[in-house]
Chain A
Amino acid sequence: MKYGPLLFLGILFTLASSWVGLVLAPYKQLGNLLPNPATNAVGGVSYLPEARRGEAQQGAEHYRSLGCVYCHSQQVRPAGFGGDIDRGWGKRRSVSRDYVHERPVMLGTSRTGPDLTNIGERQSDYSWHYTHLYNPQITSKGSVMPPYPFLFEKRRVGLGGVSTNALKLVGEFSPGEGWEVVPTDAARQLVEYLRSLKSSYDLPEAPLPKTAGEAETATAVQ
């Protein structure tokens, strides 16, 4: 080959093709996706998924910063594809609309730990989350998740007695007589974020599965 310009144009056009196909086209199709309006319990309109607010949103920053995404996915694959739904990680598959508020979108590529799409639904107990973050061996023996002691403060028990938010640690994990372990702001925000993770709402493109009775009717109609 002798023609520099031909090579140059070929190189540009080949990449341009996938730039149009895999960057521009997805942007056109999904870049303006909006939450879905739905009637809520009190008869008003809510938009689903809801935007995350306050401490939960601050917690998303810790989730990003601590690199939780390297071991935990946030995507439920469709029924019949992998064991996601059978494992109870979600009632329905995840769809693009579930992520319209996420910045960044942390779908994840590894499941060294379980999927967290619906962790707020599956585990809403504050004290479980705190204890688990402080040391996963307490709640989940054998886990390879690292402990996060730096999200907690170990301090002397004050004059008023043990703080109400102190972790209930016993045996080998106990901080010792006269000491207590309390969550820092970061731990609180992170747990609020985890508790906010749930996709248990209906979307037109991804309805929640109906109960057995309803499902039979639907099949009969089809």
Chain B
Amino acid sequence: MSSTTKSVSALMPGELSDSGQRRAMLAEIDASCRAPVLFFVISGLAWLLVGTLLALVTSIKLHHSGFLSAWEFLTFGRVRPAHLNAVIYGFASQTGIAVTIWLMCRLCRVPLVSGGLIVLAAIFWNLGLTIGLVGILAGDSTAIEWLELPGYSTPILFFSYALVAVWSIITFRLRRESHLYVSQWYLLGAILWFPWLYATAQIMLILEPVRGTVQAAINWWFAHNVLGLWFTPIGLAAIYYFIPKVIGRPIHSYYLSVLGFWSLALFYNWNGLHHLIGGPMPAWMITVSVVASVMMLIPVITVAINHHFTMVGHFGKLRYSPTLRFVVVGAFCYTATSLQGVANSLRSYSEIVHFTHHTIAHAHLGVYGFFTMVMFGSLYYIIPRISGREWPSLGLISLHFWGCFLGLVLYVVPLSYGGILQGLAMNDATVPFMKVVEGTLPWLKLRTLAGLLMALGHVAFVGNLVWLLARVFGPYRKPVVAILSGTETPAVAGK
């Protein structure tokens, strides 16, 4: 292998010199992914709609407390965890797994093997989650944040996950590409980190609960890492894949990608206990996490330079590629939410915002602004390729993007600001508590409006997908939109 091709495969995902051979291989891989990936995508998006509905109910309840309050199963304290688990384990995880499977096949250059295993995994995942969510609404929530699913449902999820992990390792072993592109490092990390996190949390918190505040330590070690070591690496892997792919330009720097990955692996997993600042924990535990959170500046800035500098000079392409538009917004939100996260982890700032709606805004900037937007962008690229059909409606794509984007801005900006005001008022003991509550109402109402915009975007997206799928199973028609999802043509000028 000459040094030229080596550097190309290090910087561009899945490049081959012979474009005819390359196209045939990609088409074979995409076709092999069709049923398993679509199964995960469709279930993920079904949960997105369920989760969105639960979110709206939750949000309305916070400013109209009497709303749907007569039924026990719809009380705020049940709908809220049901929302979280539906979007985290139903939508985000399943869509993330779908994107992971497709990226693994593409980057390893192997058609998907044992698709039946993946479909089986998806069936079990949805089964476990449905049982768990009904359990939460019926009152069996564990009340451990991010782990509310009752103990009788989680082994089913874990079994399903094990199938996905085993499949991923097999695919990784079968790889025909010797060079591991940066996206693969992140994907392999996510696949191996998640079961360890989940098993530890399930065993030590739910099956055989440890005593006292050790629970809180493990709870936040898990909850922060499920973001940092499960969603973040999948999201970053997708950004690293799609930005160069769509704009046809190599990533800015290979060395920064190495530094970014290993510094994330080293520091992120020590972050979690900053959630307990001011709490009944030994100071060293919290301090260690605060230090690690500040160290996150290294991977965050590194990855930001790498992503954003790759884009420089190509922003015009945002107009034509929905993939790029969603992924680039996601990449910016990653930078923003990470910097906000560093600030939140400082004792002086946490003292104000810790128990406020600011934290909720921060969580949505991360999981929605970053991860969800990147997943939407990825699906705009993947689905036409595995289904052989283009997206039927440009208008619905625009509606999806602007609904989600404006919803996101309207959600995060006012609620972050309102949260700070709430925290300042709460720390001032001369302000009556009811005044603090009243002060949050305008921001909470704006949040419901933001949620409606997001819901509109989601419905547009799902509508477009249903339309597309109807064409897959109906007679073939000439695609309305041909260039939407960017180009497969390699354009590595100068390398």
Query: Is the CB–CB distance between A99 and B280 below 8 Å?
Result: yes
Complex Cα distance, B78 from A77, in Å, reads 27
Instruction: Given A7-B185, A10-B262, answer yes or no on A15-B196 (Cβ-Cβ < 8 Å).
Output: yes
Q: Which residue of A lies closest to B292 (CB)?
A: A18
Contact A7-B180, Cβ < 8 Å, known A15-B193, A15-B269, A70-B80: yes
Residue of B whose beta carbon sits closest to that of A64 = B143
**Closest chain A CB from B235 CB (angstroms):** 17
Report how far A107 CA is from B262 CA in the complex, Å: 33
Looking at the assembled complex, report how far the CB atom of B213 sits from the nearest CB atom of chain A, in whole angstroms: 4
Residues in chain B near residue A15, CB distance under 8 A? 192-193, 196-197, 225, 229, 265, 269
Contact call A105/B270, Cβ cutoff below 8 A: no
Q: Mark A136-155, 1 if CB is under 8 A from B, else 0.
A: 10001111111111100000
Number of residues of chain B lying within 8 A (CB) of chain A:
85
Select which of A94, A97, A111, A112 is within 8 A of B62 by beta carbon: A112
Q: In the complex the two chains form, is A105's CB within 8 Å of B216's CB?
A: yes
- The CB with the most chain B CB atoms within 10 A, among A96, A141, A146, is that of A146
Quick check: B216 and A150 within 8 Å, CB to CB?
no
CB distance from B218 to the nearest CB of A (A): 6
> Counting CB contacts under 8 A, is A43 at the interface?
no
Q: In the bound complex, what is the Cα–Cα distance between A152 and B79 (angstroms)?
A: 21
B282 beta carbon closer than 8 Å to chain A: yes
Is B217's CB under 8 angstroms from A102's CB? no
The reply to whether A114 and B433 contact each other, CB–CB distance below 8 Å, is yes
**A120 interface residue per 8 A CB criterion:** no
Q: Which residues of A contact B61 (CB under 8 A)?
A: 146
Bound-complex Cα distance A65 to B145 (A): 13
Contacts A30-B212, A107-B279 hold; do A70 and B438 have CB atoms under 8 A apart? no
Give the contacts of B78-107 with A (CB-CB under 8 A).
78, 80-81
Q: Is there an interface contact between A78 and B278, defined as CB atoms closer than 8 Å?
A: yes
- Binary per-residue interface labels of chain A (105-142) against chain B in the complex, 1 for a CB within 8 Å, 0 otherwise: 11111111110000000000000000000001000111
> Assuming the A-B contacts A11-B188, A22-B288, A99-B280, are A150 and B355 also in contact, with contact meaning beta carbons closer than 8 angstroms in the complex?
no
Contact call B212/A33, Cβ cutoff below 8 A:
yes
Q: Which chain A residues border B66 with CB–CB below 8 Å? A: 146-147
Q: Are B178 and A2 in contact, CB atoms less than 8 angstroms apart? A: yes
A12 and B258 alpha carbons, distance in the complex (Å): 17
| Interface pair B179/A11, CB less than 8 Å apart | no
Q: Is A171 an interface residue (CB 8 A)?
A: no
A221 to B283, CA, bound (A): 27
Asked if A149 and B359 make an inter-chain contact with CB atoms under 8 angstroms apart, the answer reads: no
Bound form: Cα–Cα A75–B193 in Å: 31
B272 at the interface (CB under 8 A from A): yes
Query: Contacts A33-B211, A98-B280, A104-B144 given: A82-B273 contact, CB under 8 Å?
Result: no
For chain A, give the interface size range: 35 or more
Q: Which residues of A contact B153 (CB under 8 A)?
A: none
In the assembled complex, the Cα of A102 lies from the Cα of B189 at a distance in Å of: 34
Interface status of B139 (Cβ within 8 A of chain A): yes
Give B203-227 as 1s and 0s: 1 = Cβ < 8 Å from A's Cβ atoms: 0110001111111111001000100
B3 to chain A, nearest CB (A): 14
B429 touches which one: A8, A87, A97, A111 (CB < 8 A)? A87
Q: How far is the CB of B362 from chain A (nearest CB, A)?
A: 12
Are B76 and A67 neighbours in the complex by a CB distance under 8 Å?
yes
Q: Which residue of B180, B210, B273 contacts A2 across the interface (Cβ within 8 Å)?
A: B180
Interface 0/1 of A170-195, CB less than 8 Å to B: 00000000000000000000000000
- Complex alpha-carbon distance, A75 and B77, angstroms: 19
Q: Are A109 and B275 in contact (CB under 8 A)?
A: yes
Say whether A41 faces chain B, with CB atoms less than 8 Å apart.
no
Q: Is the CB of A109 within 8 A of B65?
A: no
B436's nearest neighbour on chain A, judged by CB, is: A111
Task: Compute how far the CA of A64 lies from the CA of B147 in the bound complex, rounded to whole angstroms.
Answer: 13
Q: Is B488 an interface residue (CB 8 A)?
A: no
A102 and B69 CA atoms in complex are apart in Å by: 28
CB-based contact B434/A10 at 8 Å = no
State how many angstroms separate the Cβ of B255 from the closest Cβ of chain A. 11
B221 and A83 within 8 A (CB) = no
Q: How far is the CB of B93 from chain A (nearest CB, A)?
A: 18
Minimum Cβ distance to chain A for residue B15 (Å): 16
- Residues in B neighbouring A145, C-beta threshold 8 A: 65
Q: How far is the CB of B299 from chain A (nearest CB, A)?
A: 12
Residues of B within 8 A of A100 (CB): 211-212
B18 at the A interface (CB under 8 A): no
**7 interchain residue pairs of minimum CB distance:** A67-B77, A86-B429, A111-B355, A77-B278, A65-B139, A18-B269, A26-B217
28 A-B pairs in the complex with CB atoms less than 8 angstroms apart: A1-B258, A11-B188, A11-B193, A14-B266, A22-B272, A23-B217, A26-B218, A26-B281, A27-B214, A33-B212, A64-B143, A66-B78, A67-B80, A73-B355, A77-B351, A78-B278, A82-B351, A93-B280, A104-B144, A105-B215, A105-B216, A107-B279, A112-B357, A143-B437, A146-B65, A146-B66, A146-B76, A149-B69
Could you list 13 further interchain pairs (A-B, Cβ under 8 angstroms) beyond the known A96-B281, A96-B282? A7-B188, A8-B188, A11-B265, A15-B192, A17-B270, A18-B225, A65-B140, A94-B280, A99-B212, A103-B209, A104-B144, A111-B356, A149-B69
